[in-house]
A and B are shown apart, each in its own frame.
Chain A
Amino acid sequence: MRRFKYILLLLFFVVALNSLARAEAVDHSRLFLFTDRDYCISGDTVWFKVEIRNGWSQNSNVVHVQLHSHNSNLIAGVKKKSTGNWAEGFIHVPDSLSTGVYFLSAFLNSQRASSVWETVNKTLFVYNRFDEEITQLQVPVADNKIEEKGIEGLISVAGGKEIFAPREKVNVDFALDKIDTSSIKNVVVRATHLDELSAQAGGRFISKSKSSKPSIPVIDEKDGFLLSGKVTDADTGEPAEKVVVLLSLYSEMPYLDYFLTDRNGDFHFFLKNAFGVANVVLQAVAEDDREFNLQVGKNYMVSEKINFQSKILTPDQSDFIANAINGVFFKKLFEESYIVEDETFYMPARFEYPFYGRPYNRVFTADFFDLPDFQEISRELLHGMQYRVRNDEVTLRLLNEPENIYFKSDPLRLINGIPVFKNRLFANFDSNDIEYIDLVLKERLYGDLNFKGVLSVSLKDKSNAWLTQQPNFFRISVPCLQPDKRPAYAGAGIEKENLPDIRQVNFWHLTETGQKQQVEFRLSDLKGKVEISVEGVTEDDILFKTSKIIEVK
């Protein structure tokens, strides 16, 4: 009996240990992020490059990059589609962000398959441009800092020169042939103004991360991203189940998608190849006439807190920060491309025809004489459509062309690609308001939605002002995939002799290993130290960085 008890006890411990081990199971696959600078002034734009490795890029090519504080408060986030295995983009550091050390990190939506995964957080020292004197700063303790390995003799400056004058040209040889190409295919080379504080106290820190919203589906984001949100009942505030959320947006042609909310009121959409900032119209439709509230959520990761300690700055460090802040005013004054503007929304059409199919008839109202209202337009121009007003109620019926009889219920009605359910909305449109009208005189299926024909009115005015005051319509500005941009210092037009050159980054690019590289760059007017570096990650996730310091006097 006693032996039996011991066996039971042992079994219990084994099961307990096993479940503990499972709870702590962490995905150790990491994404490494490289930035063009280690410090910035609030309001700056920081550029990043992220390599998607571990075979992920086959299925997932959209990287989420976020800027967060040490206690994981999200400050900014972007989504960038990779080209090859690298995603290159930028992140705006808010103007109002207070001085401190923040972190940039990256993740793929598919990584969320593990409840916890390891994240590499790269420090970004941010100095608020309105701070007058910074003498003390909270910096991360070195507990989880990743050690960087060095490779000797990678960088040599022509002539062995170490001191340069402002705007002088520098020639650098990178002996990238010394790097084993089977282990490291690409490296990031850069020359940037050195902040000794961020060089000493900054770096890359490992932390365990979790999803901000576990209900977001764990799917591979290939060429697109997930837009998620929640619908709640406007009266009770309870999550609204079985509500159809319709998403409409307009680029080259109308786009529609729908999602039936789950018991938590959650909805999700996958927007493929949508770039820039989209004006999305979301609509909550239920079987009854309830009113709803709708909110779009953010997909980001919550990292465990990174411990900080207080550091008193040396007078040199304080002076450096003060000079950097002063430089921003000149930057804003003289650099036209200081702020990178988001491009307008574009989403290439996936197919030749809109989601509602090939129109039976497209009527351009401008081709005909002016008609005062939609009833007249339908009567004169829209063959196969009945517009009837009875007891102040408007009914619309389309002809089912293959059967040659009229449908007994309303068609799918669209205004600028947005589904509407009130026929009266059409009543006041005259010929001058309308660009064209599409009619589809067939019974259509779109997923699991069934339409008794389609009436699509495309207005000249795409601002959708008619939506105001309509219940259950929500107009939301959604940042989609970040369009491809290049930093101003990477292009031409920086060598304006009569203007101050306050570039913090002299050059920064991705290059292949295996052969020697020679780079010539021109220094800016900023005095101080410039760090020329080569950074990369081996196949075994070992980070290496080799740098050489030159001085500008």
Chain B
Amino acid sequence: MKRAAIKILLAIAGSFFIVLTTFAQKSEFHWEQLNENSNRLKGKLSGTVFVLSSKSNSNYFLQNDWADGSITLEDDDVYDSLKVRYNAFEDKLVVYNDNLRNLFAVDKEKVKSFIVKNPAGNQKFVKYYYDGFPKGDRYFEVLYSGGRDFLVFREIVEEKTRPFVDKFGIMKDTRFKGKNTYFMYSPEAGFQKIRLRRSSVLNVFPENKREIRRLLRRNKVNIFDEKGMSRAFKLLDENGYFQ
């Protein structure tokens, strides 16, 4: 009796396995989730599935929550009305696929720029090839765009700290911290690292130091933060220093 029961169980398991392998053949199609919104004529956004852990959710992203955004690809195809977050720890743009209810990191080689819409204002990121260290494509936030761009590479880095107990009671010895690196950029001149100080700007134009110092003073431009540096870039651009 027992033997017969085992045989039946094996037969059921066997047929279940065969059925599974048959259906698995077209498993890449989530039929119930495909609809007319899947039919975007001008192109499809592609990327690698991103697994959101509680660690990455609370530490890796520049934005605390999913924000509206748009992406422009290298072929100038624009994708609007997306939910996006910039993963500043891995330098990845993560997008929520509404139909599949899946997160994915957009293929960086296809992205030209993207915009994250925040209540305080839009953040525009542009992909450039950075020839410093480490070399490669990076997303830079554009703080001023003109004859020369004022860019910031916003990173989240994990650094060693003294051991501490976090809010969940877990002992840790690392901490995630924001780090900004600022650049003056033009396609011709490439990247020039700058700091949020007046002297840093003056060093870029050693022959015009005195004029620029006077120009900044007369226009009451103080460079202590990103806003001040953006104003300085605008002023220098308007006065022809970036030509």
Contacts and interface: CB of A to CB of B under 8 A. Distances in A.
Given A226-B41, A272-B75, 10 more contacts: A269-B41, A270-B43, A353-B107, A357-B47, A421-B26, A445-B46, A446-B46, A448-B100, A450-B102, A452-B27
A421 B28 CA distance: 10
A272 B73 CA distance: 14
Nearest to A408: B24
Given A270-B42, A287-B31, A445 B36 contact: no
A456 to B, nearest CB: 14
Contacts of A259: 39
A257 interface: yes
A412 B26 CA distance: 9
A219 B30 CA distance: 28
Contacts of A355: 44, 46
Interface of A: 217, 219, 226, 242, 244, 257-260, 262, 268-270, 272, 285, 287, 350-353, 355-358, 391, 393, 395, 402-403, 409-410, 412, 421-422, 442-452
Given A287-B26, A350-B74, A357-B46, A447 B40 contact: yes
B48 A285 contact: no
A241 to B, nearest CB: 11
B185 interface: no
Contacts of B54: none
Contacts of A285: 26, 29
B109 A445 contact: no
A448 B41 contact: no
A448 B30 contact: yes
A268 B46 contact: no
A391 B20 CA distance: 14
Contacts of B97: 445, 448
5 contacts: A244-B29, A412-B28, A444-B47, A447-B45, A448-B100
B34 interface: yes
Nearest to B34: A260
Nearest to A394: B21
In this complex, which of A268, A356, A393, A450 has the most chain B Cβ atoms within 10 angstroms of its Cβ?
A450
B28 A452 contact: yes
A409 B24 contact: yes
Contact of A242 (B18, B34, B42): B34
B110 interface: yes
B34 A244 contact: yes
A443 B48 contact: yes
Contact of B41 (A268, A451, A452): A268
